[in-house]
Amino acid sequence: MGLKIVENYNHSFVLEPAARDNLIALLTSDTFRQQVATQAGCPQVEFTNQLFQPVPYSSATPKGMPPEFEPYHAADEYIIINVPPNFMFQAKIFHPSRLCAIYRKIS
């Protein structure tokens, strides 16, 4: 059984407005932002309202993310996190099954 190479992957998704609002409320809560800031080693972070679905690694997506988000991966002033599964469940988001969120570090 060999590896299956995925060259084209549809990473687009649409969240229901209520589910998106619930998820953003969880991602912007003071407690969670403080946890992210602590892990990032900075005093504070701010959610950029940008979410993306991780994609399979390929020659076109070597970072496992859509190409338009790769500049955030390289920038020191941003941090990319996996949205906690319990947040996805609380917001009633089941598709996509995984999301990543981008935060900006505030000094």
CB within 8 Å of 35: residues ≥ 6 apart:
none
In angstroms, what CA-CA distances link 85 with 40, 41, 47, 82?
Answer: 20, 23, 18, 8
For 77-105, the pLDDT digits (tens) are: 999 999 999 999 999 999 999 999 999 99
Q: Output the pTM of the full model.
A: 0.86
pLDDT at residue 5, rounded to an integer: 54
